[in-house]
Structure 1
Amino acid sequence: MSWAAELDELEQRKQFAQRMGGPEKIKRQHDGGKLTVRERVSRLVDEQSFVEVGGLAGSGEYDENGRLKHVVPSNVVMGRATLGEKPVVIIGDDFTVRGGANDGAVGDKMIFAEQMAFDLRIPLVRLIDGTGGGGSVRNIENMGHALLPKMKIWAYVARNLNQVPVVSLALGSVAGQGAARVAGSHYSVMVKDTSQLFIAGPPVVAKIGQNLSKNELGGSAIHARNGVVDDEVASEEEAFEAARRFLSYLPPSVYELPPRAETPRETIDQAWLRDAIPRDTRKVYKIRPIVDSLFDPNSVFEIGRYWGKAIVAGLARIDGWPVVFAASNPYHYGGGWDRHTAEKFTRLVDMAQAFHLPVVNLVDIAGFQIGLEAEKDAVMRAGVRALTAVAESTVPWFSLIMRRAFGVAAGGHQNSSRFNFRYAWPSAQWGSLPIEGGLDVAYRSEIEAAVDPQAKRAEIEARVRGLTSPFRSAEAFVIEDIIDPATTRARLVEFANLAAPLREPGRAPNGYRP
């Protein structure tokens, strides 16, 4: 006897899975400006590389004789693929299949995907579009009892953050556990206007008197600016490209080292950096052109552009070697750190530590933000977390003092208990607090007693400022080297090549803080 009947049934079941929620639901998905989960997988990964796992899971319908009539597939699609010719695990929600939301296979498949990435030591990409994993209120009637929230998946989510790169793309409306899975990543993205993220959606929030649309409550305009997600993109295709670029800088797992890309044939002229910093300390300047000049051409991948704005930060390459970078942004509160900036910096340092990426820190910081709102916002608590991340960091660091380095916040420009590469430009100045803010405190009685207080203040400021020259500090070996800005890239290239052999695979002693 042959197995033709069983093979025919297998093919039939595969066809049911490919149909997802059926033509009407697929049309609704497309009318909403969104791709189906299978289209997403196809466009994200390398061509014909997807190997589905668990594609037969779902809810079967049988006739009175037990013969298969139809299968409503589970609304989670997962499997293995290659992305940039490197293996990854992909898991995506199928919003066209709502019947699958209450299928026990949903939670099992989610956990299975997390487990697969962990045990294979390869990156995980989540395509999240609505599935929370806990079912709906209707589920109570179907089962005859209510479930006590357990978040069984979270132990798997948490341990993956310390072992493999995790990317989450929010591609529709996500709430509850789905929203938590987006935030529980090393890199997360929302699509403008078509994706939203909530603790609870508009119908639930309306019960507390807030009648809001999806975008008003949880659109990317909110979450790409408060740090719940890292970035906002204009389309799903841009989200896929962001995922590909992000992963290109990282190793498959903490047990391997980040790959080196090709070394650039040409670099941007560095001479203009000599005039990049205004002599007037009250004037600001644009940091992104400086960043683009120092790193390999077209290698800068900024993360969190719309939140934590006192730093411009992300991933880049130096002579082909991938690094994490942070650069002060004087256009945002003069580069003073608020709570979001400290949180952004902490996450980047943790990611560098987890995946063995050297850190480049371009410093122009007047300190933490000050004033009543800063105190209410608990800036110091977030700042202490950032300082702790730096103190626990063991990867190589390169710090460049471009202009200001004042206060407790500036004290975290590197781990002072270890050797670091540290340079200053001639425009640099530092201290416990800026001269402008400290003169009136330190010399109050002398200024007030003067016949002309303003003239006395100017006299004292000129005297003290003369002592703050970075060359005076270099004489005392407070700073190791002051360099011509035009030579900075050469110093970075030396750093990257000396740091590369020092990188050691393995798990970091301190966990990643999402």
Structure 2
Amino acid sequence: MSWQPEVDELQWRKQLAQQMGGAEKVQRHKDAGKLTVRERIEAIADPGSFQEIGALAGSGQYDADGKIAGLRPSNLVIGHAQIDARPVVLMGDDFTVRGGANDGAVGDKLVHAERMAGDLRLPVVRLVDGTGGGGSVRNIETKGHTLLPEMRVWQHVVENMSLVPVVSLALGSVAGMGAARVAASHYSVMVKGLSQLFNAGPPIVAHIGQQVSKNELGGSQIHTRNGVVDDEVDTEAEAFARARRFLSYLPTSVFELPPRGAAPAASADQQWLLAAIPRDARSVYKIRPIVQTLVDPDSFMELGGKWGRALATGLARIDGWPVAVLASDPYHYGGGWDRATSDKLIRFVDLAQVFHLPVVNLVDVAGFQIGVDAEKSGVMRSGVRALAAIYQTTVPWCSIIVRRAYGVAAAGHQHMGRHNWRYAWPSANWGSLPIEGGLDVAYKAEIEAAQDPGRKRAEIEQRLRRLTSPFRSAEAFVIEDIIDPRETRARLLDFVHLAARLRQPGQQAFGIRP
């Protein structure tokens, strides 16, 4: 006698799981403009590559003879798949079953998926569309007792951040632990109007007297500007594309090296870089076209562009080699570091260090933000933590000083205790303080004693400016090389090929930061 009846039941159970929360709830979900969890998995994974684990998990309903009559499946779908022919662990919340609440996942599926990623050394992609671990307060009556909050999965979430690339896509209203899972990522995305993220949703917030909509409380326009989430897109399809692109720059785990892509047939025109920096020190310029000119065409993927805006950060390729790019943006506080910029730098530098990405840093730093608001924000605390992050790096680093490098913040343009590549453009200037700011302090007595203080101040400034030429510093070997801006990409090509030899796989450890 064969086991065909059991095999038939197996297939029947799998068919029940495919129905998710049932036709009515699935339709309601789709009417809200959202894909189902299984449609999302099909959209982000290579065709036919998803291998589900735990498809039978759920709450079965049985007839009087003990035969299965129905199944409410677990609302977490997990498994492994291929994305661009590289293996990943995929997990997705099913909002059609109990609103995606994590306690509806049945058993330890969440723990299993995170542990699988760490132990198999595979990237994690989370499709998050659910709430915290406690679910509804109805559970109190169902269980007959309350639950003490705990997150057994969190050990694996934290460990994975230092082992494998972690990507989280917020694809609905995520709260509590759902929100925490999104934030605990190397890269996170929200969909405009479709995604919201909060500690607690509007009904709970109403109890503290705040009547707000979901978007007013936690829309992407909030969290992509405070640094909780990296990016926002218009559609789920764009979110999947961004996730795939992000992973393409990184190794499968820290025990491998970032893969080299195809070298471009040609690079962008470098000629215009000669006039890219204005002669007027008070004039601003756009940094992103400079970045895009120096790296391989169409390879720059900016991360977190709407927060910490004095610094543009992103991944790119140079001659096919993946690199991490930092670039000062003078449009925001003149490139000076406020607290948000410092925090952004820390997170990005850690990403480069963990995944063995050489760093290219385009420097135009006016120093730390100054003034009453800056001091109240605690910019110095975040600032020195940013310096510590830089001085804990061991990845190869190349700095191009394109204009200013002033103050303590500028001391973080690279790790000064080890060899790094460094070049300056003729437009560069540096010092402990900008002349216009420090002159009035250093020459106060001389200026005040002059018959014409304004004229005296101008004379002193002109005299000092003659001494601030980068060529004077080059004579003293303060700067190693001054280059024609049009030669910068050629120098970066040299850098990435030398740096490729120095990259070492393995897990990183950071010391304490102030």
TM-score greater than 0.5 by the shorter chain: yes
Whether 1:70 and 2:50 are equivalent positions in the alignment is no
Query: What per-residue deviation string (whole Å, max 9, x for no partner) do you get for residues 407-439 of structure 1?
Result: 111100000000000000000000111111111
Counterpart position of 2:31 = 31
Give the partner amino acid of 1:67: K
Give the partner amino acid of 2:10: L
Query: What per-residue deviation string (whole Å, max 9, x for no partner) do you get for residues 445-469 of structure 1?
Result: 1111111111111000000111111
Pairing of 1:112-511 with structure 2 (within 5 A): 112-510=112-510
Q: State the distance in 2 between where 1:501 and 1:100 align.
A: 46
Contact (CA 8 Å) 2:99, 2:130: kept in 1 or not?
no
Q: CA deviation at 1:132?
A: 2.0
Contact (CA 8 Å) 1:107, 1:133: kept in 2 or not?
no
Q: State the distance in 1 between where 2:13 and 2:478 align.
A: 71
Give the partner amino acid of 1:200: A
Q: State the distance in 2 between where 1:10 and 1:404 align.
A: 67
Query: What per-residue deviation string (whole Å, max 9, x for no partner) do you get for residues 375-400 of structure 1?
Result: 11111111111101101000000001
SS of match in other structure, 1:327: strand
Give the partner amino acid of 2:349: V
Give the partner amino acid of 1:13: R
Q: 1:147 to 1:279 in 2, by over 3 A?
A: same
Q: 1:437 to 1:127 in 2, by over 3 A?
A: same
Query: What per-residue deviation string (whole Å, max 9, x for no partner) do you get for residues 54-73 of structure 1?
Result: 11100001112211110100
Contact (CA 8 Å) 1:296, 1:320: kept in 2 or not?
yes
Q: 1:205 to 1:99 in 2, by over 3 A?
A: closer
Q: Which moved more, 1:481-490 or 1:436-445?
A: 436-445
Q: CA deviation at 1:102?
A: 7.1
Q: State the distance in 1 between where 2:512 and 2:318 align.
A: 25
TM-score, normalised with respect to structure 2 = 0.98
Q: State the distance in 2 between where 1:154 and 1:342 align.
A: 26
Give the partner amino acid of 2:509: P
Aligned residue pair count: 513
Q: CA deviation at 1:135?
A: 2.2
SS of match in other structure, 1:8: helix
Q: CA deviation at 1:99?
A: 7.7
Q: CA deviation at 1:133?
A: 2.5
Contact (CA 8 Å) 2:402, 2:424: kept in 1 or not?
yes
Give the partner amino acid of 1:38: R
Contact (CA 8 Å) 2:360, 2:397: kept in 1 or not?
yes
Among all aligned residue pairs of Structure 1 and Structure 2, give the percentage whose two residues are the same amino acid. 69
Q: State the distance in 2 between where 1:307 and 1:99 align.
A: 30
Q: CA deviation at 1:107?
A: 5.9
Q: CA deviation at 1:372?
A: 1.0
SS of match in other structure, 1:413: coil
Whether 1:43 and 2:43 are equivalent positions in the alignment is yes
Contact (CA 8 Å) 1:424, 1:481: kept in 2 or not?
yes
Q: CA deviation at 1:509?
A: 2.0
Q: CA deviation at 1:134?
A: 2.5
Q: State the distance in 1 between where 2:474 and 2:144 align.
A: 75
Counterpart position of 1:108 = 108
Q: 1:333 to 1:76 in 2, by over 3 A?
A: same
Contact (CA 8 Å) 2:162, 2:354: kept in 1 or not?
yes
Q: State the distance in 2 between where 1:17 and 1:475 align.
A: 73
Give the partner amino acid of 1:158: V
Q: State the distance in 1 between where 2:244 and 2:102 align.
A: 32
Q: 1:420 to 1:336 in 2, by over 3 A?
A: same
Q: Which moved more, 1:296-305 or 1:368-377?
A: 368-377
Q: 1:277 to 1:15 in 2, by over 3 A?
A: same
Query: What per-residue deviation string (whole Å, max 9, x for no partner) do you get for residues 352-387 of structure 1?
Result: 110000000000010111111111111111111110
**Which ranges in structure 2 are unaligned for 5 or more consecutive residues?**
none
Q: 1:107 to 1:269 in 2, by over 3 A?
A: farther
Contact (CA 8 Å) 1:273, 1:485: kept in 2 or not?
yes
Q: 1:270 to 1:103 in 2, by over 3 A?
A: closer
Q: 1:495 to 1:334 in 2, by over 3 A?
A: same
SS of match in other structure, 1:459: helix
Q: CA deviation at 1:5?
A: 1.1
Q: State the distance in 2 between where 1:174 and 1:376 align.
A: 32
Q: 1:107 to 1:223 in 2, by over 3 A?
A: farther
Q: State the distance in 2 between where 1:479 and 1:453 align.
A: 34
Q: 1:125 to 1:165 in 2, by over 3 A?
A: same
Q: Which moved more, 1:99-108 or 1:293-302?
A: 99-108
Q: CA deviation at 1:100?
A: 7.2
Give the partner amino acid of 2:87: P
Q: 1:194 to 1:356 in 2, by over 3 A?
A: same
- Aligned-CA RMSD value: 1.3
